[in-house]
A and B are shown apart, each in its own frame.
Chain A
Amino acid sequence: MRPIRVLVAKPGLDGHDRGAKVIARALRDAGMEVIYTGLRQTPEMIVSAALQEDVQVIGLSILSGAHNAIVPRILELLREKDMADVKVVVGGIVPDEDAAALKQQGVAAVFQPGASLDSIVSFIRTSVGA
């Protein structure tokens, strides 16, 4: 069976990449194929990387409070490119109200501080049906 492919992306201007890197390693250790975009990716760059890398999941790490500007734009680009089946997962500092709103717009899950690596791995496994 083909391993799950995940794009871990760090959008926005923030450079705090500890979380993104820890998640990338954990997903890799769980047998997934992980592509890490590096810092300061625009929504366009992220969606184009997701298309080229043929991933099933995009994991976005956002700590700066810019999620309400960035995430909807990524969802919109995915729909435009007929990639709405790609699951978008968000991790970082996202208040409860914002998390609910993002999920309503199509985000598969929002992981807030303290979420365990195991819960993230198993969510991704279940949601792509692997």
Chain B
Amino acid sequence: MKTAERQFSTLSGVPIQPLYGPEQVQDLDPERDLGAPGEFPYTRGIHRDMYRGKLWTMRQFSGFATPEETNRRYRYLLDQGQTGLSVAFDLPTLMGYDADHALSEGEVGKCGVSICSLEDMETLFQGIPLGDVTVSMTINSPAAVLWAMYLAVAEQQGVDWARLSGTLQNDILKEYIAQKEFIFPPRPSMRLVTDTIEFGARHTPRFNPISISGYHIREAGSTAVQELAFTLRDGIEYVDWALERGLAIDDFAPRLSFFFNAHNDFFEEIAKYRAARKIWADVMRDRYGARSERSLKLRFHAQTAGCSLTWQQPYNNVVRTSLQALAAVLGGAQSLHTNSLDEAYALPGEHAVTLALRTQQVLAYESGVVQTPDPLGGSYFVERLTLDTERAAQDYIRRIDEMGGMIAAIETGFPQREIATASYQYQREVESGARTIVGVNRFQSDDQPIELLQIDETSARQQTAKLGNLRRRRENSRVVRSLGALRRAAEGKENTMPCLLDAVRAYATLGEICDALRGVFGAYQETSHL
């Protein structure tokens, strides 16, 4: 094909001009649009010195099988120089079912670690001092329950809650939009999220009660602009609910954190992170009148794109992940997860996860990219993309405002349809060969076999046996009392966190607690938008 005939565009379909120079950025006002690193609107980063002051946190998401096995993996990762933990829970835990529930059959320990009660959480963090390690937990619908378990373990370890540092994902809106691990309907779910934000503002000043996530929106097939716009609009929705609760903006906004995808299109991703910081700073200052500088700064975790990994020629995934991680670093991420080469097949094995961590260490210690903040700032191309990404995202945010907010938009299926259409279009481009995926639709060759982590049904049997034991050993009258109190709190308007803490301390199981809440809130059934 001759160059003149080819269409050039980003992965998300934004057209790319033949060349970028000063004429392409005439509308850029450096003072308004960029500022210096560490200064409003933070386009160039939230710190003046960025990685010269402190590297990002290398935080590999992991969890599988039983709490015992995952605890061993965590100790291994910390020994290898990882600087934070990130817990992956299995599907029954994400959906609020115990390991011995009928719907848990075949799923226990498969996609993450199985946690059924405080006892499991104690095992998960055995020998890991929660006052010294930051912990992120990927849990959403039952996030308040798992967080209560975490706080209870900290109590047992004698760690003051004020010292705890970490992040609860707790972003229910993107579940309705993209990942679909929901239990309760949107409004009671939002109430639980607001309970944790309020509780956190009072008791855990260093813990992020929410990580507002575009990652899963992107994995579901959205464009970069949709990922950015839906995520920031979700953030606005959480802020509105917290204000409605009576919190002051600067009392909780500094602890709102974000989570973005790091996909294949290098410059588009960097523009996305830069635009995200700018839009959020504007929203905080102009829409909400935030005064504290910490409220204005968008802090984010990035994870390389799981959906970009291929089953064919799995070693190519190491290269993809390296480039994606580099984009996240050049985009100013505060923490990063790099995917392992075997993740199109299974949860990562130990060799693969070590290589993924080494990828980050090479970037941090060998590549030199950490030595100056926002090294791509001022690039005509990157600045143009940043401005365009910002405007396109603002446009989506306005449309959702006009619909009456994100919950109303979700109820009409708007973001779900936008994503489904984008993902179908992308797949069609792959099918037609308009998009190349190395090793899949071009440059095919025989696959090299790789070693895989296998999880059998032993974990399910062990978890079920432990649950049986626990139910016999614990003081069941205390469980019943605490669940009754939780139900009453859920029916009323009070914050549910104190009752959740009492229930987990009594060793009520995750399934029992979620059943009590299902009884009050009901269960959510989505209308499918094809």
Interface of A is mostly: loop
Residues in A with CB closer than 8 Å to B311 are 112-114
State whether A12 touches B431 (Cβ < 8 A).
no
Give A26 to B426 CA distance when docked, in angstroms. Answer: 12
- Whether A116 is near chain B, meaning CB under 8 Å from some CB there, is yes
State whether B423 touches A117 (Cβ < 8 A).
no
- Whether B427 is near chain A, meaning CB under 8 Å from some CB there, is yes
- Whether B172 is near chain A, meaning CB under 8 Å from some CB there, is no
- Whether A54 is near chain B, meaning CB under 8 Å from some CB there, is no
Residues in A with CB closer than 8 Å to B344 are 93, 113
Residues in B with CB closer than 8 Å to A128 are none
State whether B455 touches A65 (Cβ < 8 A).
yes
B95 to chain A: closest residue by CB: A13
State whether A65 touches B179 (Cβ < 8 A).
no
- Known contacts being A13-B94, A39-B180, A114-B310, is A95 close to B345, with CB within 8 Å? yes
- Whether B337 is near chain A, meaning CB under 8 Å from some CB there, is no
Interface membership of chain B positions 82-114, coded 1 if the CB is closer than 8 angstroms to chain A and 0 otherwise = 000000000110110100000111110011000
B97 to chain A: closest residue by CB: A13
B222 to chain A: closest residue by CB: A18
Residues in B with CB closer than 8 Å to A67 are 106
Interface membership of chain A positions 8-31, coded 1 if the CB is closer than 8 angstroms to chain B and 0 otherwise = 000011111110011011101000
- Known contacts being A13-B92, A112-B311, is A66 close to B528, with CB within 8 Å? no
Interface membership of chain A positions 28-43, coded 1 if the CB is closer than 8 angstroms to chain B and 0 otherwise = 1000000010111010
Residues in B with CB closer than 8 Å to A21 are 420, 423-424, 528, 530
Q: How many A-B residue pairs have CB under 8 A?
A: 100
- Among residues 297 to 337 in chain B, which have CB atoms less than 8 Å away from a CB atom of chain A? 307, 310-312
Give A116 to B442 CA distance when docked, in angstroms. Answer: 13
Residues in A with CB closer than 8 Å to B428 are 117
- Whether B248 is near chain A, meaning CB under 8 Å from some CB there, is no
Residues in A with CB closer than 8 Å to B103 are 13, 40, 42
Residue picked from B220, B424, B428, B437, most chain A C-beta under 10 Å: B424
- Whether B181 is near chain A, meaning CB under 8 Å from some CB there, is yes
State whether A39 touches B526 (Cβ < 8 A).
yes
Give A20 to B164 CA distance when docked, in angstroms. Answer: 40
- Known contacts being A17-B180, A39-B180, A114-B311, is A65 close to B110, with CB within 8 Å? yes
Give A13 to B94 CA distance when docked, in angstroms. Answer: 9
B420 to chain A: closest residue by CB: A21
Contact of B431 among A38, A66, A116 (CB under 8 A): A116
Contact of A69 among B94, B105, B526 (CB under 8 A): B105
Residue picked from B181, B220, B440, B530, most chain A C-beta under 10 Å: B530
- Whether A105 is near chain B, meaning CB under 8 Å from some CB there, is no
Contact of A114 among B180, B181, B312 (CB under 8 A): B312
Give A14 to B526 CA distance when docked, in angstroms. Answer: 14
State whether B530 touches A24 (Cβ < 8 A).
yes
Counting from the closest, the 8 A-B pairs by CB-CB distance are: A69-B106, A15-B180, A66-B106, A113-B311, A13-B91, A65-B110, A38-B528, A114-B440
Question: Which of B's residues lie within 8 Å of A, judged by CB?
Answer: 91-92, 94-95, 97, 103-107, 110-111, 175, 179-182, 219-221, 307, 310-312, 344-346, 420, 423-424, 427-428, 431, 437, 440-441, 452, 455, 525-526, 528, 530
